[in-house]
Amino acid sequence: ICELLDLSKIRGRSIEDLSGGELQRFACAMVCIQDADIFMFDEPSSYLDVKQRLKAAVTIRSLIRPEKFIIVVEHDLSVLDYLSDFICCLYGVPGAYGVVTMPFSVREGINIFLDGFVPTENLRFRDESLVFKVAESATEEEVKRMNHYEYPAMIKTMGEFRLEVHQGQFTDSEILVLLGENGTGKTTFIRMLAGNLPADSGSGDLPQL
């Protein structure tokens, strides 16, 4: 379990010295090593980066046995899609009441949550559906290209860590997501773009934000 959750390197540390992600993985490990028939996990992906979330999901699925049950409370739809065999959706008023639906297949459960409608109950629990926008018109794309910022190639060394940034650009009319493991330089890159952290080289042409 320690190998699966990357806990081997911190086994000698005190619990109070662990980071949020390390503490979350430790809590998951403590549940996994129990001799039990029912395992319950409450938001196991909290504080974990993408790679660690996948490892946590793999570890939880490794507990599956014909005589054992696993219940997971989770908000990350990508984790749910990988982890679940069945999904129950919950709706209601926070602090007042909640209702748990019957179990649905993974695809049905996720679609019900996104639609905000439970077909078996003929019940709408959200006024609007959650729709992901996957395409834009050519006109919108042309407008975006007229308002863009360019940043140069940069290098930043902090102790033994070295961040290399390739030249790129972004616009003021889109959402750009930085995806990567903890400790790979996402926050450092943002601080460099904002001018709060000077680069070792290449920061002279940073856009004014």
pLDDT score for 44: 95
Contact 4, 59 (CB under 8 A): yes
According to DSSP, the residues that pair with 82 across neighbouring strands are none
**Residue 168 carries which side chain, given as an amino acid letter?**
G
Domains of the chain: 8-124 (3.40.50.300), 138-205 (no CATH)
Cα 90 to Cα 99: distance, rounded to the nearest angstrom: 5
| pLDDT, tens digit, 9 for 90 and up, residues 98-124 | 999 999 999 999 999 999 999 999 999
- Write down the mean pLDDT value for the chain: 87
Cα 59 to Cα 193: distance, rounded to the nearest angstrom: 37
123 SS3 class = strand
pTM (2 decimals)?
0.70
Q: What is the pLDDT along the chain (209 residues), one digit of tens a residue?
A: 999 998 998 888 888 888 888 899 999 999 999 999 999 999 999 989 888 999 999 999 999 999 999 999 999 999 999 999 999 999 999 999 999 999 999 999 999 999 999 999 999 999 999 987 765 555 555 555 566 788 888 999 988 889 999 988 888 777 888 888 777 888 889 888 888 888 887 666 777 66
pLDDT score for 209: 64
Cα 26 to Cα 20: distance, rounded to the nearest angstrom: 10
